[in-house]
Amino acid sequence: MAHILLRHRDVENIHQLDVYRQHQGYEALQKVLGMEPAAVTNIVRDSGLRGRGGAGFPTGMKWGFIPKGAGEKYVVINSDESEMGTFKDRELLERNPHQVIEGALIAAYAIGAKQIYNYCRGEFMDAGYAFEQALKDCYANGLLGENILGSGFSCDFSMYFGAGAYICGEETALLNSLMGNLGQPWSKPPFPAVEGLYARPTVVNNTETLANVPPIILNGAEWYKQFGTDRSPGPKIVCLSGHVNKPGNYEIIMGMTYRELIYSEAYGGGISNGKAFKAMLPSGGSGPVVVEDALDAPMTYEGLTPFGSVMGSASVVIMDETVDMVWMAMKCVHFFHHESCGKCTPCREGTYWMEKLLKRIYKGQGTQEDLQTLRSVASNIGGRTLCALGDFAINPVLSTFRHFPQEYEAKIKPAAAVNGQGKKQTAVPVAAD
């Protein structure tokens, strides 16, 4: 089947404006410019499109929250793709930028915005420059700026490069950063739809989400809903990485199983080097790790719920039997500690503490007490932080504890050895299996 999102894989040079236009490019925009803005939002709502950044919030509903009436409003594209193992937006920006631009323009028209910002991960230089070139081409051809396509609708589009902070993928931190403030999230409410950029109503959509919009407008909500499941309709780009034979981005129809993704020749082509599957991070570093039993779950927003995890942004990291789960948890926690913005106490202090504990445990210097403290610290962060980063940070820890407790236990030294280093031992050590 032809790609809906990764269309550059079917159409050569679709990043060029004339090629894009030869393939129905900006026809969706043309179509909406003759419609009532509310009707545009309704189509997107009816399509069931949900946010592809990971949270899966219904896109049409988000647009519908924007108050009607005069005054500045903004569309902000979240291209701050920084989750471990996520690289889907980068490909879209670089290879199929016009579909994102068109989607954003449709969003701007639907909510009455005259300014779009693309907040792009700072490290995505090549992708960002390619996207900027696409913007220039649009300005030169009457697709951006004053009186777009002679419709009377005007809209500007600016590119903004982040400075290398994971937290700026959180929408309020992104907006703070875009305004020149420190990249820290704010406590919601106010929600961006009410008070976002410069305290004005703002829609923040993921890059991939917006790439879904033009085909929905062109073909209608019903067409879109034929793909995927009832609650998770449409295509999804999956970033497959780790120990698979063919890592990369794949556009799948939601509902496909993880097993098919990993083992099908059309996708991952199986575990590399003939090793056995051990575990999978279905949502980069931020989602709980799952094991073999989850492989038959469908890739949908709800599919992994029974397994205590989430599809998220669909950054699937595969780990074979050689991977040390304590090491993996330590690496993830290191990342979250490094990326914690420091605004709220549990995340700022807790990620630092968890990393200290995990390093000690990984090095074989931990105690039973450290294990207990680690679990407790992780639980104490959960549900008490200002944004979701704190909850993300504990997922790799608590999920590996759940599935691989023996790997932690195996790293705990016997009491005598630890006492020999002068550390007070209060819990009775449990010998490794």
Partner 1 sequence: MSDDLVTLSVDGVEVSVPKGTLVVDAAKKIGNDIPVFCYHPKLEPVGMCRMCLVEIGLPMRDRATGEPLLNEDGTPQINFGRGLQTGCTVQVSPGMVVRTKTDPVEQARADVIEFLLTSHPLDCPICDKGGECPLQNLTMRHGRGNSRMVFADKLHMEKHVPLGDLIFLDRERCIQCARCVRFQDEVAGDPVIGFHNRGRHLEIATLSEPGFDSYWSGNTTDICPVGALTTADFRFGARPWELTPVATLSPHCPSGSNMTVSTRREAKAGGRSVIKRVMPRQHEAVNEIWISDKDRFVHHFAESADRLTQPLVRKNGKLVAASWTEALDVVAGKLQQAGTAVAGVSGDRLSNEDLFLFQELFRKGLKSNNLDLANGRLAGGDIVAQVGISSGSNLKDLGKGDVVVVVASDLHEEVPVWWLRLKQAAERGAAIVTLNVRGTRLDKYAKHALRYVPGEAVATLRQLVNQSKVETDGQSDDPIAAAAATVGSAGNLVAFYGAEGLTYDETESVAKLLANLLLLKNGDGHAGKKNNGLIPVWPHNNTQGAWDMGIHPSFAPGYKALPEAGLDAHAMYEGAASGTVKALYVLGADPIGDGLMDGRGKLDFLVVQEMFLTATAAAADVVLPAQSWVEREGTFTNAERRVQRYYPAITPVGDSRADWQILAQVGERVGLGKPALAASLVFRDVVKAVKQYKGMDYRSLAKYEKQWPDVGGDDLYYGGNAYENRSGLGQQWVAAAESGKVGMFEVAETAVKSSPGLKLVRTAALYTPGTLISHSAALLGPRMAQPTLSLSTADARKVGVADGNRVEVTANGMTMTATARVGDAPDGVALISGVAYVPGTAVVQIRKLQEEKVA
Closest CA to 81 of 129, 130, 120: 120
Examine residue 353 and tell whether it contacts partner 1 (CB under 8 A): yes
Q: Contact with partner 1 (CB under 8 A): which of 99, 205, 373, 400?
A: 373
Examine residue 182 and tell whether it contacts partner 1 (CB under 8 A): yes
Examine residue 380 and tell whether it contacts partner 1 (CB under 8 A): yes
Q: Which stretch binds partner 1 (CB under 8 A): 53-61, 80-88, 180-188, 226-234?
A: 180-188
- Applying CB under 8 A, what is the total number of residues that bind partner 1? 34
Those residues whose C-beta lies under 8 Å from the C-beta of residue 212, and which sit 6 or more positions away, are 4, 5, 49, 52, 59, 103, 224, 234, 235
Nearer to partner 1, 239 or 393 (CB): 393
Examine residue 391 and tell whether it contacts partner 1 (CB under 8 A): no
CB 289 within 8 A of CB 400: yes
Three-state secondary-structure class, residue 7: helix
Examine residue 386 and tell whether it contacts partner 1 (CB under 8 A): yes
Helix runs in 145-280, H state only: 171-178, 207-219, 221-225, 258-263
Take residue 285 and report the two structure tokens written for it: 């570093």
Q: Which stretch binds partner 1 (CB under 8 A): 153-161, 260-268, 277-285, 349-357?
A: 349-357
Q: Contact with partner 1 (CB under 8 A): which of 341, 361, 371, 418?
A: 341
Examine residue 394 and tell whether it contacts partner 1 (CB under 8 A): no
Query: Per-residue x/- mask for partner 1, residues 125 to 164, rule CB under 8 A?
Result: ----------------------------------------
Minimal distance in Å, beta carbon 387 to partner 1?
10
Q: Which stretch binds partner 1 (CB under 8 A): 60-68, 88-96, 218-226, 368-376?
A: 368-376
Nearer to partner 1, 164 or 248 (CB): 164
Q: Contact with partner 1 (CB under 8 A): which of 260, 356, 409, 414?
A: 356
Q: Which of residues 278-317 bind partner 1 (CB under 8 A)?
A: none
What's the number of CA atoms in the CB half-sphere (13 Å) around residue 118?
A: 33
Amino acid at 8: H
Amino acid at 352: Y
Examine residue 363 and tell whether it contacts partner 1 (CB under 8 A): no
Examine residue 333 and tell whether it contacts partner 1 (CB under 8 A): no
Nearer to partner 1, 142 or 383 (CB): 383
Examine residue 339 and tell whether it contacts partner 1 (CB under 8 A): yes
Examine residue 419 and tell whether it contacts partner 1 (CB under 8 A): no
Q: Classify residue 167 by its DSSP letter.
A: G
DSSP code per residue over 351-369: HHHHHHHHHHHHTT---HH
Q: Contact with partner 1 (CB under 8 A): which of 50, 88, 337, 375?
A: 337
For the sheet containing 156-161, what is the strand order? Answer: 156-161, 115-120, 74-79, 202-206
Examine residue 358 and tell whether it contacts partner 1 (CB under 8 A): no
Q: Contact with partner 1 (CB under 8 A): which of 134, 167, 240, 279?
A: 167
Examine residue 349 and tell whether it contacts partner 1 (CB under 8 A): yes
Examine residue 350 and tell whether it contacts partner 1 (CB under 8 A): yes
Examine residue 393 and tell whether it contacts partner 1 (CB under 8 A): no
Nearer to partner 1, 157 or 392 (CB): 392
Examine residue 378 and tell whether it contacts partner 1 (CB under 8 A): no
Q: Can you say whether the dihedral through the CA atoms of 65, 68, 74, 76 is positive or negative? A: positive
Examine residue 263 and tell whether it contacts partner 1 (CB under 8 A): no
CA 86 to chain centre: 7
DSSP code per residue over 55-109: T--BHHHHHHTSPPSSS--EEEEEE---STT--HHHHHHHH-HHHHHHHHHHHHH
Total residue count of the chain as it appears in this document: 433
Examine residue 165 and tell whether it contacts partner 1 (CB under 8 A): yes
Minimal distance in Å, beta carbon 195 to partner 1?
12
Q: Which stretch binds partner 1 (CB under 8 A): 27-35, 94-102, 119-127, 350-358?
A: 350-358
Nearer to partner 1, 338 or 402 (CB): 338
Pairing of strands 315-320, 277-285: antiparallel
Amino acid at 102: E
What's the number of CA atoms in the CB half-sphere (13 Å) around residue 323?
A: 24
Three-state secondary-structure class, residue 400: helix
CB 377 within 8 A of CB 354: yes
- Measured from the Cβ of residue 41, the count of other Cβ atoms closer than 10 Å reads 23
Q: Contact with partner 1 (CB under 8 A): which of 57, 253, 384, 391?
A: 384
Contacts with partner 1, residue ranges (CB under 8 A) = 165, 167, 182-184, 186-187, 337-346, 348-353, 356, 369, 373, 376-377, 380, 383-386, 423
